[in-house]
Amino acid sequence: MRAYVHLALAGFRRYSTYRQAMFAGLTANVVFGMLRTAVLVAAVGAAPVAGYDAASAVTYVWLGQGLLAFVVLWGESQLSERIRTGDVVVDLYRPWHLQAALLAEDVGRAAYAAVVRLVPPVAIGALFFPFRWPEPHTWPLFAVSAVLALVISFGMRFILNCTTFWLLDSRGVRNMYEVSSGLLCGLIVPLAFMPEWARDVLWATPFPYLIQAPIDVFLEQGPQWTVLALQAFWAVVVLAAGNLVLSRAVRKVVVQGG
């Protein structure tokens, strides 16, 4: 256990060394936040749409801009690269559980991202636009929801990366994920804007639990505890699936010689 705590701390330190990249990413987040605010406020300004008035639209946009870097919506490729180059041999050889070790590191990364990527966009939204703050009792629920979103996102990225064991190059799969995840998880437009059938389909997938769910918890839309329970369910499902994929991959490498 101590090893994993240590790995989380190392994850925090690793990402804190890339300050320029952090600033560049943050700037991009903020610029897009401005654009999205302008569009969405124009849409809901006259009359609320699907429960979104101007203040909740602004909150939705800036929280989403922060969360996307916290949970990492794009298909990062660290593990995939290590598989491609064969360096994963070193990881497989260590006396640790690889998935748990990478999750620990990602939690450390996210802790850093929470400070430098999640808080600033939210602060900008709150300072310059009408913003909807939640009731005090919602704060801890939101924190849990954000962490569960992170775990689900990690689990999905882990599976995505593990496909490299079979495909040798997972860029195609990752690109597909990147293109689709923004829409599917409710980052680009609130899922509430979509037709009912689409909503039903999407909420049956893990995607909305990455972005829309924590935002809903923050905005106090819908039953918060149910959302948290479903997030926990999906976290367990994707981690278990990842673990299965990893053990199949290790079998393939170890027994078939990859």
Partner 1 sequence: MIEVRELCREFTVTTKVGRLRRARTKVRAVDSVSFDVAAGEAVGYVGPNGAGKSTTIKMLTGILVPTSGHVRVAGVDPSRARRDLARRIGVAFGQRSQLWWDLPLRDSFDLLRSIYRVDARDHARRLAECVELLDLSGFLDRPVRQLSLGQRMRGEVTAALLHGPELLVLDEPTIGLDLESKERLREFLADLNAQRGTTLLLTTHDLDDIERLCPRLVVIDRGTVLADGPLEALRAEVVPERVLVVDLEKPSEPLTGIRGVVDVRIELGGLRQHLTFRKDETTAAAVIAAVAAQADVHDLVVEEPEIDDVVRRLYARR
Residue 253 near partner 1 by CB under 8 A? yes
Q: How far is the CB of 87 from partner 1 (least distance, A)?
A: 5
Q: Is the Cβ–Cβ distance between 212 and 185 less than 8 Å?
A: yes
The residues in 173-212 that bind partner 1, with binding defined as CB under 8 A, are none
Give me the least distance between CB of 56 and partner 1, in Å please.
39
- 185-190 own/partner pairs: CB under 8 Å, 24+ apart: 185/73, 185/209, 185/210, 185/211, 185/212, 186/64, 186/211, 186/212, 186/215, 187/64, 187/68, 187/73, 187/211, 190/50, 190/52, 190/60, 190/215
Secondary structure letter of residue 135 according to DSSP = P
CB of 113 to partner 1, least distance (A): 15
Rg (CA), the chain: 19
- Residue 90 or 204: which CB sits closer to partner 1? 90
20 binds partner 1 (CB under 8 A): no
Q: Which of 96, 233 has the CB closer to partner 1?
A: 96
CB 114 within 8 A of CB 26: no
Q: Does 86 bind partner 1 (CB under 8 A)?
A: yes
Footprint on residues 91-120 left by partner 1 (CB under 8 A): 92-96, 101
Taking CB under 8 A as the rule, does residue 248 contact partner 1? no
> Judged by CB under 8 A, which of 10, 192, 194, 230 binds partner 1?
10
Q: How far is the CB of 240 from partner 1 (least distance, A)?
A: 21
Interface segment toward partner 1; rule CB under 8 A; list 54-62, 90-98, 132-140, 227-235? 90-98
Reference 227, options 239, 213, 215; nearest CA is 213
Of residues 31, 50, 89, 143, which one binds partner 1 by CB under 8 A?
89
HSE, side-chain direction, 13 A CA sphere, residue 234 = 25
Residue 80, burial from CB neighbour count under 10 angstroms (0-12, 13-18, 19+) = buried
- Indicate whether 171 belongs to the interface with partner 1 (CB under 8 A): no
Decide if 219 contacts 134 (C-beta within 8 A): yes
Judge contact between 164 and 84, C-beta under 8 A: yes
- Count the residues of the shown chain that bind partner 1, applying the rule CB under 8 A: 24
CB of 166 to partner 1, least distance (A): 13
Q: Is 257 in the site for partner 1 (CB under 8 A)?
A: yes
Which one of residues 3, 49, 173, 189 is an interface residue with partner 1 (CB under 8 A)? 3
* Rounded-to-integer distance, Cα 35 and Cα 15, Å: 28
Q: Say if residues 119 and 30 touch (Cβ distance below 8 Å).
A: no
Minimum CB distance to partner 1, residue 169 (Å): 17
Which residues would be at the binding site for partner 1 (CB under 8 A)?
Answer: 2-3, 6-7, 10, 13-14, 17-18, 86-87, 89-90, 92-96, 101, 253-257
